[in-house]
């Protein structure tokens, strides 16, 4: 399998079990080694008392893209730390897209940047940085990598 095949199969395996992404109707737009692009529509139930998309949902979208990106190498990988800077507001009905990109992997750790933008005007809504930690177990079970 190519690295692109591994990344795609890892995302498919995760998405089958990702109840949060299923419930929020997140869409995996693109996935490849060390990267993932997800989209989510801000619904009326995601809006806070100021009429803005609740920051927790923006964080959740960014964190989900981060999770898919850092799990593209067939190692079960979890967040060790993450932070977000909110740049501009999003509103009910907005379509948000999070692009996660691997900056570096070192040992069992990795560093990922995620930009959340509004589609179609491309306005930056938030910038997220996550640190990952890989476990020793594999995400996929293949003939090359039996369970």
- State the CATH number of the domain containing residue 106: 3.10.129.10
Does the predicted model carry a pTM greater than 0.85? yes
Low-confidence ranges of the chain (pLDDT < 70): 141-147
Judge whether 144 lies within some domain.
Answer: no
Contact 59, 40 (CB under 8 A): no
Q: Which of 24, 15, 106, 19 is nearest to 59 (CA)?
A: 24
Judge whether 91 lies within some domain.
Answer: yes
What's residue 145's pLDDT? 46
User: What is the span of the domain harbouring residue 37?
Assistant: 3-134
Q: Which two tokens stand for residue 127?
A: 């910038």
Judge whether 14 lies within some domain.
Answer: yes
Judge whether 140 lies within some domain.
Answer: no
Q: Which two tokens stand for residue 113?
A: 């940047």
Say how many domains are in the chain.
1
Judge whether 7 lies within some domain.
Answer: yes
Rg (alpha carbons) of the chain, rounded to whole number: 15
Judge whether 74 lies within some domain.
Answer: yes
Q: How far is CA 79 from CA 14, 46, 126, in A?
A: 15, 23, 18
Give the SS3 label for residue 74: coil
Judge whether 147 lies within some domain.
Answer: no
What's residue 142's pLDDT? 54
Judge whether 88 lies within some domain.
Answer: yes
């Amino acid at each position: 399998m190519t690295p692109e095949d591994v990344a795609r199969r890892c995302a498919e395996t995760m998405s089958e079990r990702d109840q949060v992404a299923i419930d929020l109707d997140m869409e995996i737009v693109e996935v490849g080694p060390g990267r993932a692009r997800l989209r989510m529509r801000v619904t009326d139930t995601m809006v806070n008392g100021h009429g803005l998309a609740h920051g927790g949902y923006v964080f959740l979208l960014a964190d989900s893209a981060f999770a898919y990106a850092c799990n593209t190498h067939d190692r079960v990988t979890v967040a060790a730390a993450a932070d977000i800077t909110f740049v501009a507001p999003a509103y009910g009905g907005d379509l948000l897209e999070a692009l996660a990109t691997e900056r570096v992997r070192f040992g069992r750790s990795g560093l990922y940047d995620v930009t959340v933008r509004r589609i179609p005007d491309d306005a930056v809504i938030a910038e997220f940085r996550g640190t990952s930690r890989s476990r020793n177990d594999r995400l996929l079970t293949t003939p090359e990598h039996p369970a």
